[in-house]
Structure 1
């Protein structure tokens, strides 16, 4: 507790001093973060391999390269993001300066998860730096090798007065949460998310929760077989299925299933060979606990593809399950592994009903060549993100917000949305001491003339929004 307290006090003093707020400081720290990634690329690739058997390709596009692009995007736009936002004025405030000032919250706590241990720790950090905050980082103890390396590197590249890294497990996290932070950003599961939310409530601390969930994937009868099979297979088994935006289960008719399953099998052969265990492009389960959990989920439905496992290697083959029921274990929790269940439904309406009676997901995917099907699914469902005829790509655009809704999360980030998340929007009006005659109309004693004038001066006039339908 003493170590935490001393470190947090140091960071708090640095923020109060204004050290983290200047544009120059923010730019320098973001450049240093990019430098960290560039100068330690091999070491970062090595620890990702040790933790997840993550190959270089997946590590670069979803971790190192992804974070570099986010930092560069912030550097390219930070000046405009920091500028005050001028707002529309009323008649009474015509002579005043009215604007929204973007100011940092103060001391931020970022708690990351293990599935993408570099991306999910450093992506929110970029926005927190850009917004002028001081930050405490808590990487996941599950991805132990990556967390250890980052805890060693970050103090070498970022200002020690403004940034700190603490490693450890749930005990250390609970101790950290006893302290007052000005904002808490958590990525993980909904069970821990509730704990984070309760702890933050004790201090009335605002939070962002990125919680994942079971992402539905409806495959319509009008689907394009080749592209659907390739994209679904890639999305589900990328990082050995350990991704919060992966398609978690498929909803389709049995006729669609009969076409899709063989096509997925062919894709798996093309991607990973006849024995995925020997493929350099196929990852492993993060630890023994998650491996055992996934073994239990394999007892759902019927294995139609894959199912092979190796305890010592923490290997689970890319697996497809059919004849899955909604009550099966694999449908009760986010899978976070290389298992793809298929549930048969008879129509789009039934699929929408199935999706809507469950918790709102982080992502929702629709595969169809029929725009009416896509639009109906979009209009009649709710999710953090939506993508048709592909998966995961919605999170790669830093001009789109990324976040969940309900059980899948609270708040959003990526690009400017991260800057906005970590910025307090301060309402500002700068008035002159003159023109007191106009202002006197609001002072007692009141009369009908003053009332009529003030109502006229503050009245919001309705614009003519009528337009002719084409």
Structure 2
């Protein structure tokens, strides 16, 4: 909203929302042909603008072409392809079982769109975390307002300028702005809100949604634990942990936020991590084209302040002008230190020592439920213990976040790390209202006499019986 609009009390979003509401009310988004056409347009958007998207992501967070392709562009294209392939199946009415009272009726669940939905995306994966939910919203037949992050300004610019050219602008809109504009946007009534970001902002979004009783999905973050058992090959663990900790310069909501291990494993793990970091990024990681940069000066300063925690055993270098933080490992970190009080969201990996698996599990369970949890051990019973005795949005045994490449698996948090889930059909279901439907013949009224008053003992006994006869085939 411009200063002039604000001074005049004009809200330009109102016209946008009115246009989308009219389009939805007219039923424009409901036909499968329309949904298919919009998804095909989204596919062309990626095909036509791959280089521009890669360039924008490189400018925003220093993503290499490999990281941009594997974590943003390819995943989004795969999501579109799956939706196009599966759309008609997803949209079909789902038949359900009946009892004797409804045996002659048609009972089914219809998947219908909510209406006008709002998707608010963050800056760390500015393409992925906007487009992935958008695919589900389109497939489900909704009109959509998209709010990309203003922090990843180069990607925001590409999305604002190009994406509307590939979608029906009477049904889809990109809205720009910072926190103030987002706050104004949230004052409007939407039929569904999908937000990805921090728990702090998630509470603000949820409060705004509650004023209109708007259903909501919150994809949040938190401190994701990574337990490393003594029965491990340190180099294998180091390779896998270093890769997904420093991917996107650590600015990943499902990255491991800290390692829990014994003092003995810490001593074995540190040189293995150093070896992995050197192999991945060279002797001077600042010159590596594979290592990203911190998004802005604010986050750089925050991360720089965390380097004083524990004992720096790897990395620790920084360059404010280049927004560079070296891949860093902190040993002997105490739970009371600042690096353990907030989600790090950067290339810093604290090592916290514990004496046993039980102590590690207790450490995890005393804190908010994380978005992801990882466990490494050659002993499958140790991994299973960690899985069975903890709770998290996702879980990885002896590997990192590769489960995010599977559209058959949902992404979503639990408790403080979020609510709701998406990816693949889970996205379609998230943006669809599951409508319970029963269609009965207007005739054969005599069959209904048993349910009408007055009710004698026999009527009551018989009705109770037929209502419990879910699989009876007498009729």
Bin the TM-score by the shorter chain.
over 0.9
**2:101 equivalent among 83, 92, 108:** 92
**2:294 equivalent among 279, 285, 289:** 285
Q: Which residue of structure 1 lines up, in the alignment, with residue 213 of structure 2?
A: 204
Aligned pairs for 1:198-347 within 5 A? 198-347=207-356
User: How big is the shift at 1:93?
Assistant: 0.8
What is the rounded CA distance, in whole Å, between the counterparts of 1:435 and 1:162 in structure 2?
44
What is the rounded CA distance, in whole Å, between the counterparts of 1:76 and 1:155 in structure 2?
23
Tell me if 1:375 matches 2:384: yes
What is the rounded CA distance, in whole Å, between the counterparts of 1:78 and 1:462 in structure 2?
31
TM-score normalized by the length of structure 2: 0.96
Tell me if 1:420 matches 2:434: no
User: How big is the shift at 1:92?
Assistant: 1.2
User: How big is the shift at 1:183?
Assistant: 0.2
What is the rounded CA distance, in whole Å, between the counterparts of 1:228 and 1:339 in structure 2?
17
Q: Which residue of structure 1 lines up, in the alignment, with residue 54 of structure 2?
A: 45
What is the rounded CA distance, in whole Å, between the counterparts of 1:209 and 1:2 in structure 2?
26
User: How big is the shift at 1:204?
Assistant: 0.1
**1:2 equivalent among 7, 11, 29:** 11
**1:406 equivalent among 378, 398, 415:** 415
User: How big is the shift at 1:407?
Assistant: 0.6
What is the rounded CA distance, in whole Å, between the counterparts of 1:310 and 1:456 in structure 2?
75
What is the rounded CA distance, in whole Å, between the counterparts of 1:213 and 1:350 in structure 2?
20
What is the rounded CA distance, in whole Å, between the counterparts of 2:132 and 2:206 in structure 1?
21
Q: Which residue of structure 2 lines up, in the alignment, with residue 115 of structure 1?
A: 124
TM-score normalized by the length of structure 1: 0.97
Tell me if 1:172 matches 2:181: yes
**Is the 2:235–2:269 Cα contact (8 Å) retained in structure 1?**
no
Q: Which residue of structure 1 lines up, in the alignment, with residue 456 of structure 2?
A: 447
User: How big is the shift at 1:460?
Assistant: 4.6
**Is the 2:97–2:470 Cα contact (8 Å) retained in structure 1?**
no
What is the rounded CA distance, in whole Å, between the counterparts of 2:325 and 2:118 in structure 1?
34
Tell me if 1:394 matches 2:403: yes
**1:356 equivalent among 357, 365, 372:** 365
Q: CA RMSD in A?
A: 1.1
What residue ranges of structure 2 are gaps of 5+ in the alignment?
Answer: 1-9
User: How big is the shift at 1:225?
Assistant: 2.4
What is the rounded CA distance, in whole Å, between the counterparts of 2:420 and 2:394 in structure 1?
12
**Is the 1:148–1:167 Cα contact (8 Å) retained in structure 2?**
no
User: How big is the shift at 1:461?
Assistant: 6.6
Q: Which residue of structure 2 lines up, in the alignment, with residue 18 of structure 1?
A: 27
SS in 1 for 2:450: helix
**Is the 1:135–1:162 Cα contact (8 Å) retained in structure 2?**
yes
The Cα offsets for residues 180-209 of structure 1, whole Å up to 9 and x where unpaired, read as 000000000000000000000000000000
**2:443 equivalent among 428, 434, 442:** 434
**Is the 2:235–2:273 Cα contact (8 Å) retained in structure 1?**
no
